Chains A and B, each alone.
Chain A
Amino acid sequence: MKFLKRGDTSRAICERCQRVVPVRFDYGTFRLSEPEVDVPDVLLGYCAECGEVATVPFQSSPRLNAARKRAEAPLEARVPRHLEDVLGVVAHHYGRADTDFRATILRYYLHLLAEDAGVADRVRELARSDLARGAADGRVSLKVRRPVLERAWGNARRHGIRQKSEMVRGVIVAAAQDLEGRDRLSRRQRQALTAIAAAG
């Protein structure tokens, strides 16, 4: 397998110089904007004329992603206490009773919501279902990758969900509903979560 090394040269389009320029690869710090964080020791292609980063090789992605993961955003939501039980039952169904896996289930459904705006309608309806109702005397707390949370919340808001707690209530009920659903999508979610539970 071929990898790039410090000192390798190539060409790239430099945004600052506004043209194709020679680049030289070297290790340096790359600033991410979402989340806003500096990632040191990343192999980057620097413009030989202005010194700006002109290209980022794929081999640097794992290092950048590790930094993104560290910059996770907290998600706190007040929910009816019985929904904590519901989430526990869902986790137990997949053979996992630990808190980490409960958070994994929520992250999985938030990822679905982030990637598919169509999921937002279902989450909104379920957040208003009988199972989701009750005094908000319980609490759900987890960390979610910031861009995933932002995309999920953006889709949720565009589809009429007004509060993050409403989003979380709907997501928990969706996970519970998928335990028994006979449709193709429910089966797919069960298969995915079964694999994730077994792997972790």
Chain B
Amino acid sequence: MKNPLGFKAARNKVIRSLLAGRAYILFEPREVREEKNLLDTEEVKIEEVIQLLRRCVGTQFRCTPHHVSREIPVYVFQPTVARERWYIKAYFLEGGEALEPVIFISVHKQQLE
């Protein structure tokens, strides 16, 4: 992976892209096709995703390589809010801390069974 961001820098960068408007928010086609992304389906609002990210702590964060382009770091946030665990997975293509579009792979609740 090329220059992955740490927890706070990654979280802040995702939040800044979310606040920058719809042009800065993109989705991977597969998740949209299968209707698995609650931000895309508008069941969860941008503000709610921001709140979830703000409630996330460092131990609920990890970084993994993208399954197609392994040099791209994918940021995984798994905050627990009101006894519900969330799964937010996103990445950036350019890297660094400058504003750029965020690409969401997943925004959904995790099934606890």
Please provide the chain A residues from 61 to 112 with a CB less than 8 Å away from any CB of chain B in the complex: 61-62, 64-65, 68
Cβ-defined contact, A45 with B93, below 8 A: no
Q: Which residues of B contact A64 (CB under 8 A)?
A: 32, 40
A117 to B112 CA separation, bound complex (whole angstroms): 8
Cβ-defined contact, A115 with B109, below 8 A: yes
Contacts between the two chains (Cβ within 8 Å), count: 95
| Other-chain contact of B35, A45, A68, A117 (Cβ < 8 Å) | A68
The number of chain A residues with a CB under 8 A from chain B is: 35
Main secondary structure of the interface of B (DSSP, over half): loop
Question: What's the minimum C-beta distance from B18 to chain A, rounded to whole angstroms?
Answer: 9
Cβ-defined contact, A58 with B69, below 8 A: no
Question: What's the minimum C-beta distance from A1 to chain B, rounded to whole angstroms?
Answer: 5
Cβ-defined contact, A33 with B34, below 8 A: yes
**Which of B29, B42, B66, B109 lies at the interface centre, i.e. has the most chain A CB atoms within 10 A of its CB?**
B29
Cβ-defined contact, B21 with A65, below 8 A: no
A11 to B41 CA separation, bound complex (whole angstroms): 23
Cβ-defined contact, B34 with A45, below 8 A: no
A167 to B30 CA separation, bound complex (whole angstroms): 30
A57 to B102 CA separation, bound complex (whole angstroms): 10
Cβ-defined contact, B35 with A13, below 8 A: no
A158 to B30 CA separation, bound complex (whole angstroms): 26
Given known pairs A34-B35, A61-B42, the reply for A12 and B103 (CB within 8 Å) is yes
Nearest residue in A to B20 (C-beta to C-beta)? A2
Question: What's the minimum C-beta distance from B91 to chain A, rounded to whole angstroms?
Answer: 9
A30 to B30 CA separation, bound complex (whole angstroms): 11
Q: Which residues of B contact A56 (CB under 8 A)?
A: 26-29, 32, 40
Q: Which residues of A contact B112 (CB under 8 A)?
A: 117
Nearest residue in B to A146 (C-beta to C-beta)? B35
List residues of A whose CB falls within 8 A of some B CB: 1-4, 10-13, 15, 18-20, 30-34, 45, 53-59, 61-62, 64-65, 68, 115-117, 147, 158
List residues of B whose CB falls within 8 A of some A CB: 20-30, 32-35, 39-42, 66, 68-69, 72, 84, 93, 101, 103, 109, 111-113
What are 9 of the A-B contact pairs (CB < 8 Å)? A2-B22, A3-B21, A3-B22, A19-B69, A30-B33, A32-B32, A45-B26, A56-B32, A116-B109
